[in-house]
Amino acid sequence: MPEDFLPFFREDTTVSMISSPAAGDSQACRDSHRDFLFPCLLPLYSEPLVLSSAQGVWVKDLDGKEYLDFFAGILTTSLGHRHPAVLEATRRQMEQLGHISSLYIHPNQVEVARKLAEISPGGLKSCYFTNSGTEAVETAIMLAQMYTGRQEIIVLRLSFSGRSTVACNMTGNVYWRPLPSSAANIKHAMSPFPYRSPFSGSEEELAERFANDIEEVIQTTTNGKPAAFFAETIQGVGGYIVPPRGYFQRAARIIRNYGGLFISDEVQTGFGRTGEKWFGIEHWDVEPDIMVMAKGIANGAPVGATITRPEIAQAWTAKTISTYGGNPVSMAAARATLEVMQQENTPRRSTERGKQLRQGLNALADRFECIGEVRGMGLMQAIELVEDRQRKQPSSAKAMELIEACKKEGLLLGLGGLNGNVIRIGPSMLISPDEVSQGLERLERAFAQCF
């Protein structure tokens, strides 16, 4: 190490840091959040939580109250907070080399790409790293347009794709669209949502009716030459909407008949979350042409990835860089996360703990009339709250009341659905049977208080 580097590594070097708020300062934190951050950032709860530390599925707020985390920072701390292997790999990498940019190669990057190719379906082998799901979505859309030489993209209503201009245009939910549509090439087909379906019939029949809508959208709102059909395999923000069996097979067939690609958004459903398989789309026996991932991929480090077949990746001939995409530290987190996922078999764990969770939620549905439906797969389970089971009117007030009561009980949950009436659960996939039981007990107490 050159001599003039040394002063920065002396132990007595005093580092001046802005002091972080001490216990008891949570109100000051909330006030500063209100004063210095965009008001559009809407933390959950009438009195937002200020979190300060965590371990596994347990988080603590600044006032020392402990919560069982059933939402994992939006399905992101897939192995639980501060998983020792991820912590150690990240810390070590930070000490060695913190940044390179995409101008250089780092072994972590290559290893993560290799592992993703190993667990991804079909011939998906070529990877592009970004810092978020939004960027991964954008990369997939641009790539599909370059590969096909076409522009139009079919997406789904009730979807959520992120916060860039294109992703907001793709998002099929008024509450997440701050501006009017500006991308004329994005067309929305029906959400394959059996619980709120305008059609009736068997699962197969519903799958056909919903998939037919994709064809109708192509035939009535495009030039007949779509670049791609893009869909989440379970619509997450939409309220964990699980499409009927057979839908994706038909959807993929339709888009391919019209010469377009099928892009699967696995940002929420990836890495074993839905049980049994690494990716949600594998449940439906369909090989996507492009897949996007983020959230659980690096246990909370900012990583997005777009993976595709090499011949599709080759279509991107213009120059591109990502300053932070593939960063050695976030890649160290992803590498350690993927290793632990393989060792611990997160798909199997999600199946087992998901079954336990689902049983508990079904038991609640037997007792509480305001539960319209329990749905989901693996450790991605939701409860849709309604005013009345017959008429199914969504009740956001009930969902908010329940979320607040759960907070008092020390249980963190998520919200979703167009009307904010769906309780979303998605804890770490390493959650123990006892922790699942504790969460269900807290949820049951909150239900009993509210309804």
Ligand X SMILES: Cc1ncc(COP(=O)(O)O)c(C=O)c1O
Residue 264 within binding range of ligand X, rule CB under 6 A = no
44 vs 97, beta carbon nearer ligand X: 44
68 vs 237, beta carbon nearer ligand X: 237
Residue 306 within binding range of ligand X, rule CB under 6 A = no
Number of residues that bind ligand X (CB under 6 A): 15
Q: Of the listed pieces 260-268, 357-365, 371-379, 424-432, which binds ligand X according to CB under 6 A?
A: 260-268
74 vs 450, beta carbon nearer ligand X: 74
What letter represents residue 118's amino acid? E
Among 71, 57, 432, CA closest to 240: 71
Q: Which of residues 25-84 bind ligand X (CB under 6 A)?
A: 74
Q: Which of residues 195-234 bind ligand X (CB under 6 A)?
A: 232
- Determine contact, residues 243/203, Cβ cutoff 8 Å: no
Among positions 211, 237, 251, 331, the unique one binding ligand X when judged by CB under 6 A: 237
Task: State the residue number with the nearest CB to ligand X.
Answer: 133
108 vs 161, beta carbon nearer ligand X: 161
Phi, psi of 77, deg, nearest 5? -80, 75
Q: Report in angstroms how near the CB of residue 220 gets to ligand X at its nearest.
A: 26
Q: Which of residues 129-188 bind ligand X (CB under 6 A)?
A: 132-134, 137, 160-162
162 vs 347, beta carbon nearer ligand X: 162
Among positions 211, 267, 406, 430, the unique one binding ligand X when judged by CB under 6 A: 267
Q: Report in angstroms how near the CB of residue 327 gets to ligand X at its nearest.
A: 15
Quote the Cα angle for 254-234-276, to 5°.
105
73 vs 439, beta carbon nearer ligand X: 73
CB burial class (10 A; 0-12, 13-18, 19+) of residue 321?
A: exposed
Among 376, 399, 375, CA closest to 386: 399
Cα separations (Å) of 401 from 366, 398, 405, 423, 449? 20, 5, 6, 11, 10
Residue bearing tokens 């269900």: 440
Q: How many CB atoms lie within 10 A of CB 276?
A: 14
DSSP strand pairing (290-293 vs 126-130): unpaired
Contacts of 132 (CB under 8 A, 6+ apart): 162, 294, 302, 304
Q: Report in angstroms how near the CB of residue 239 gets to ligand X at its nearest.
A: 12
Residue ranges in contact with ligand X by CB under 6 A: 74, 132-134, 137, 160-162, 232, 236-237, 265, 267-268, 294
